Amino acid sequence: MFGDTTKEWRNGVFLCHTESSFQADLLESKLRSEGIPCVKKYEGASNFIEIALGSNTSYAIDLYVPAEKLEDARNIIVPVDLDDCEEADFEK
C-alpha cells in the first residue's frame, strides 16, 4: 500500500496507491477529518473516467500529503486484517 516516499507532487509527498476512486475518496475523507490535507493524483485517463462515469476502477490514484504529516497519515490509514478482528456480539 505505501510506496516510495521520495516522490513529490504539488508540495506533498507520496502516501499510497488506491485501486479505485471509492478507496481514494474514503482515505481522503478520513485524512481530512483528522486535519491532514490530501491531494489525489490521477494516472492515465482515470480523472476523465471518474468524471464521465462517476467512478474509476481502471487506473490507480495516488494520494499525497504534506511531508510533515506523512507519519501521522500512515498511522491513520493502517490496513487491518479482518481475520484478526474479534466477532461482534449482535445478539444483545
Instruction: Give residue-wise pLDDT tens across range 28-61.
Output: 999 999 999 999 888 766 566 666 666 656 677 8
d(CA 34, CA 57) in angstroms, rounded, equals 26
d(CA 64, CA 77) in angstroms, rounded, equals 13
The whole-number pLDDT of residue 28 equals: 95
Single pTM value for the model: 0.69
Locate all alpha helices (DSSP H) within 10-89, ordered by sequence: 21-33, 46-53, 70-76
Written as nine digits, the cell of 66 is: 504534506
